[in-house]
Amino acid sequence: MDYVFGFAGIPKELREAVEARNAEFARKARFFIDAMPSGASYRQRNVDFFAEHFRQYANKDVHQAVSLAIFYLVKDDESTDFFVESFFPHTLMIPVCWKWDNENGGSVVKAAKSLVATLARQVATARAALPILKDELQSRAATTPWLLPPKNFDSDTYVPTLKNLHRAIGDGFCIQTALTQHRATFAKAHPGVRLPGKTKSCYVDKRGVEFHPPGNDRHGFARDSAEHERQCLLAGRWRLGAPYDRLFHYDCTRGDRKLKGQFYGCHSPQAKQEGNPHLNISPNDHVRR
């Protein structure tokens, strides 16, 4: 597996010393460092820096071999939450709790050594999780709940559970245990249901909309174009940092009637949609008839 790692919030005074030791924390990975003044908060510029780097891997259509993660130094609550939320649900976000006491004589060499050791531990967490997440999304795409579209699968449980899973991975919990426990939480509200006449189970949201996996006939894919925002593209290739089949989608119905209702687009507000008889909805909320 190929890894593309971002390192956010690295103190600019330490960048050269940290980057010089990259073999200790980014071995055999492509990586980008966004250095900042020690006391600075995250801004949109920081989001753009990493998102544009990641975008090039989607454009090359090599994404199925690439996993994404950002290791971010935890700063003030407001800007850190903004930064992390900007990459949900496509990028695995791993917190790095580390501070440099540079006002009390903490040398660059000592600080860089300490930070590199902390980064190495967190990178090990991501390397342990991402292959298992990739297998979950690719080998079990038809049954995993983690590819459901976050806006169009109407649920009080799904997005909070997906975010809790994300946090558990970032906090270093065993990935297999985290997947099992959070799937059980989701299943209490939305168990897989095999409906009459169907050969596979589906998930049903609060509105009674059925999300059926497509089998081998996959055509979900949102293209990189002026029509779509950057978020559409990234969320249409990765989930929590792991790549999935960009053609995967759900055939969405409601009973035996033509599906009608209000649905979000991947970058647009809710609007009336009508299926023929079903709607195709991708994991990134791209909707087509």
Q: How many whole angstroms separate alpha carbon 36 and alpha carbon 15?
A: 9
The answer to whether residues 271 and 287 touch, using CB atoms and an 8 Å cutoff, is no
CA 132 to the chain's CA centroid: 14
Give the total number of structural domains in the chain: 2
Three-class DSSP category at 232: helix
Share of the chain above pLDDT 70, in %: 92
Residue with tokens 């999780």: 129
CA 60 to the chain's CA centroid: 19
Residues 271 and 150 in one domain: yes
Length of the chain: 289
Residues 58 and 153 in one domain: no
Residue 92: beta bridge partners?
69
* Count of Cβ atoms closer than 10 Å to residue 157 Cβ: 17
Check pLDDT > 70 for residue 251.
yes
Residues 149 and 283 in one domain: yes
User: Which of 117, 139, 161 lies at the terminal end of a domain, its last residue?
Assistant: 139
Residues 134 and 169 in one domain: no
User: Which of 139, 164, 183 lies at the terminal end of a domain, its last residue?
Assistant: 139
Residues 6 and 132 in one domain: yes
User: What residues have CB less than 8 Å from 165, skipping those under 6 apart?
Assistant: 146, 178, 179, 182, 240
Residues 17 and 130 in one domain: yes
State the alpha helices, DSSP H only, in 35-99.
44-59, 77-85
Question: Which is more confidently placed, 64 or 87?
Answer: 87
Question: Which is more confidently placed, 271 or 73?
Answer: 73
Check pLDDT > 50 for residue 104.
no
| The model's pTM | 0.94
Residues 176 and 96 in one domain: no
Where residue 49 sits, what CATH number does that domain have? 3.40.1360
Residues 189 and 84 in one domain: no
Tell me which residue range forms the domain holding 216: 145-288
User: Which of 139, 168, 191 lies at the terminal end of a domain, its last residue?
Assistant: 139
pLDDT tens digit sequence for 20-38? 999 999 999 999 999 999 8
Q: How many whole angstroms separate alpha carbon 165 and alpha carbon 162?
A: 5
Check pLDDT > 50 for residue 113.
yes
Residues 122 and 214 in one domain: no
The answer to whether residues 42 and 75 touch, using CB atoms and an 8 Å cutoff, is yes
pLDDT tens digit sequence for 255-270? 878 899 999 998 888 8
Residues 200 and 279 in one domain: yes
Closest to 210 measured CA to CA, from 156, 252, 273: 252
Q: What is the mean pLDDT of the chain?
A: 92
Three-class DSSP category at 88: coil
Q: What is the pLDDT of residue 224?
A: 53
